[in-house]
Chains A and B, each alone.
Chain A
Amino acid sequence: MTMYTKPLPDPTIETKPFWDYCKKHELRMQKCAQCGHIRFPPGIVCPKCHSMEAEWVKLSGKGKIFSFVIFHYVYNKAFKDDVPYASASIELDEGPRMMSNIIGCKLEDIKINMPVEVHFEDITGEFALPKFKPELKNRGKNLKPTAEV
C-alpha cells in the first residue's frame, strides 16, 4: 500500500465508535433507546427527546444523494491528483445525513436523489472511509461505472 497522504478522520470520544465500526466495514449510528431516533453526527443526547441512552445500530448502507459539489480547486495538495472530485451529503434510508464522496461513476452522471450504497475504502491500518457508489441496480446504461478509484 502506498503512503496515504490525505487528511485522516479526527475521532473524538463521541465519534470514535463510528470510525471503529467503519474499520470493520459496518455503517453504524446511534439509535435513541427512548424514541428510536437515529442521529448523526454522534453526541451524548438525543436531539428529539434528550434521552442519554442509545445503541449503535447497523444501517443498511443505502441512501440517496441529498446534494453534492464538485471540487475543482485544490484546497489541500494531497487532493491534487483527485480534482475534479465529488463530495456529497448522503441521506441514508434510515434518515440521517452524512458527508461522503461519490465514487464509481462519471461526475456528469451524479444527480440529486440518485440512489447510492456504501463502499468502504481501507485507507490506513486504522481507518476505512465510508464512500458511496450508485446502487448496483442503477448502474445501468445511464450510469457507466468507471474504474475503481
Chain B
Amino acid sequence: MESLKNKVAIVGVGYTPQGRIPGRTAMSFHVEAARNAIEDAGLKITDVDGMLTQPPGGDTRIAPWNIAQQLGLRLRFGSQQSAMGASAGCMVLHAAAALIYGLADYVVCTYGESPLGGGSGPGTYGGGRGDNAAFGFYGASGGYALAAQRGIYEFKTGPETWSEIAVAQRKWANLNPMAMMHDRTMTDEDYYNSRMIVEPFRQYDICQVSDSGRAFVMTTAERARDCRHRPVYVMGVGQDHPSTDIVQADFMTGPIGAKVSGEEAFRMAGVTLKDIDACEIYDCFTYTVELSMMGYGFFGPGEGKAFFANGRTAPGGELPVNTSGGLLSEAYQMGFTLLTEAAVQLQGRAGERQLGPVTRTKEPEIMLVSGNGGVLTTHSTVILRR
C-alpha cells in the first residue's frame, strides 16, 4: 500500500482559555478552538470542508455538523471519533486518508469539555464504570492505579520513578503561561506530600481536568505550503487497541498499545528511536508515561527510575518529554494537548518553553506523540517532522 509519509501536514492550532471557567458549554469550547485553528492556519471560512470531533464523555450532541453550523461551514467529510485519549492520533490517520484521497481539502479536528464549570454533564471522569461502582471502584484513576500496583509488584516501579516524571513536567509548565500550573512549582517533597487519592497514586500522579478546548487543522503537503505557518509533516501513524477492560487486562505492566502502534509508525516514518528529538507522551497518570515509553523501547521494565533521573526529560535535558507541562501540569484536552504542543514546537513558536537554545535542548526536527485511552485500552502513535 502507498505510504502516507510526508503527504499531509498540520498547519494550524487553536487554543481557548483553560482552567475553571464557569458559564461555558463543552460545545462552545469546540467552536472557539476550531475558529482559532482556522484563523491560525490563515484559512477562509469557506476553505474548511472536513471536520473530526471527539465528543467529551461520549456526548453525541457534540458533532461536526452542529459545530459546523455555528462556524458557518459546509462539510464534505465529517465524523465523530472516540478512542478516548488516543483520539487525536487516530484522527490524524483518518484525516490523512481523507485528504490523500481528495475527500477533503482542509480538515479541522476538535476537542472541548467543561467538567469543572458543569457544561459537560456530571460524572465524566469520577463516574463508576458499570457494575464496578457497586464495589466502590471509580474513575480512570481506579483503573490506572490497579495497573500501577501490578507494575510495582512485577518490576519494582513506584513513586521514585513517578516523582521524576511529575516534577520534570511541572518544570515545563512553569515555562508555559497557558499552563494551569504555570505559577506553581513542584519539588520532590511536594510530590511525596501530595495526598493519596487511589493508592498507589498520589494527587500529583493524576492529571487535572479543565474547562477548555483545542483544535488543529490538517491539509495536504501541497496546500500546506501556502498556509500562514511552517507546515508540520506527518511521517508516520499507528494504532493498537488492546481492547480489554483493565480488570481482565493482561497488559497492566505492558506491553501496551505503544509497542505495536509505535512499530507501525516508525516503519512508516522510516526513522528509529534515536531520531526522536523530543516526545509528547499521553500522561493522564505518571505511570502511563512510564508504560508508554517502555512500549516504545526507550527503556526496559524497572529501568524507568534511572531513565528519568537527573532531569533527562526536563528543560535542559537530553530528551524533553511533555514540553507544555502535559496533561499533568498544563491542561487536559485528552490527546489534543500533546499533539498540538508537538506542532507548535516543530513550528518554532513555543515561546519561553521552545525547544532549542531557549531551553538548552536540541532544536527538534522529529517528535513522537502518543495517545492512550480507556484504561490502556486504546493507543495511537504519531511521528511528526518540521
B245: CB under 8 A from chain A?
A: yes
Q: Which residues of A contact B9 (CB under 8 A)?
A: none
> Contacts A69-B142, A88-B146 given; 16 further ones with Cβ under 8 A?
A9-B131, A10-B130, A10-B131, A10-B134, A40-B248, A67-B146, A69-B146, A71-B199, A73-B141, A73-B195, A75-B136, A84-B196, A87-B135, A87-B136, A89-B247, A97-B247
A interface list, Cβ under 8 A from B: 6-11, 15, 40-41, 66-73, 75-76, 79, 82, 84-85, 87-89, 96-101, 112, 127, 129, 131
Show 22 A/B contacts (Cβ-Cβ < 8 Å), sorted by A.
A7-B133, A7-B134, A10-B131, A10-B133, A67-B150, A67-B153, A69-B198, A70-B196, A72-B197, A72-B199, A75-B128, A75-B136, A75-B139, A76-B126, A84-B196, A87-B137, A88-B146, A89-B146, A97-B248, A98-B247, A112-B150, A131-B135
Assuming the contacts A67-B149, A67-B153, asked whether A99 and B131 have C-beta atoms less than 8 A apart, the reply is: yes
- Nearest chain A CB to B160's CB is how many angstroms away? 19
A84–B199 contact, CB under 8 A? Answer: yes
Chain A positions within 8 Å of B198 at CB level? 69-73
Task: Tell me the smallest distance from the CB of A124 to a CB of chain B, in Å.
Answer: 11
Residue contact B200 to A8, C-beta cutoff 8 Å:
no
A residues within 8 A CB of B247? 89, 97-99
Query: What is the total of A-B residue contacts with beta carbons within 8 Å?
Result: 98
Interface bin, chain B: 20 to 34
Is there contact, CB below 8 Å, between B136 and A79? yes
B135 touches A69 (CB 8 A): no
Closest-CB distance, B129 to chain A (whole angstroms): 9
Q: List 9 A-B pairs, minimum CB-CB distance, nearest first.
A: A75-B138, A70-B199, A7-B133, A67-B150, A87-B137, A72-B196, A69-B145, A73-B197, A112-B153
Which one, A6, A66, A69, A79, contacts B199 given CB within 8 A? Answer: A69
Contact A72 B195 (CB under 8 A): yes
Is B195 a contact of A69 with CB atoms below 8 Å?
Answer: no
Contact call A75/B126, Cβ cutoff below 8 A: yes
CA distance A81 to B196 in the complex (A): 17
Cβ contacts under 8 Å, B146 to chain A: 67-69, 87-89
In contact, A67 and B147 (Cβ under 8 angstroms): yes
Cα(A79)–Cα(B141), bound, Å: 16
Contact B245 A129 (CB under 8 A): no
* Structural contact, A7 and B245, CB atoms closer than 8 A: no
Residues of B152-203 contacting chain A, CB below 8 A: 153, 195-200
A129 touches B134 (CB 8 A): yes
In the complex, whether B132 has a CB less than 8 A from a CB of chain A is yes
Residue in A closest to B195 when the chains form the complex, CB atoms: A72
The answer on a CB contact under 8 Å between A69 and B149 is yes
CA distance in complex: A129, B198 (Å): 22
Measured in the bound complex, the distance between the Cα atoms of B197 and A97 in whole Å is 24
Least distance between B105 CB and chain A CB atoms (Å) = 42
Whether B334 sits at the interface, judged by CB under 8 Å, is: no
Q: Are B153 and A15 in contact (CB under 8 A)?
A: no
Q: B252 interface residue, CB < 8 Å from A?
A: yes
Closest to B129 in A: A99
Q: Are A67's CB and B128's CB within 8 A?
A: no
Query: In the assembled complex, which residues on chain B have CB atoms less than 8 Å from the CB atom of A127?
Result: 134
Distance in angstroms from A82 CB to nearest chain B CB is 7
List residues of chain B with CB within 8 A of the CB of A99. Answer: 131-132, 135, 137, 247
**A71 with B131: in contact, given A66-B150, A89-B247 (CB under 8 Å)?**
no
Instruction: Look across to chain B and name the residue whose beta carbon is closest to the beta carbon of A90.
Output: B247
Q: Please report the C-alpha to C-alpha distance between residue A85 and residue B130 in the assembled complex, in whole angstroms.
A: 19
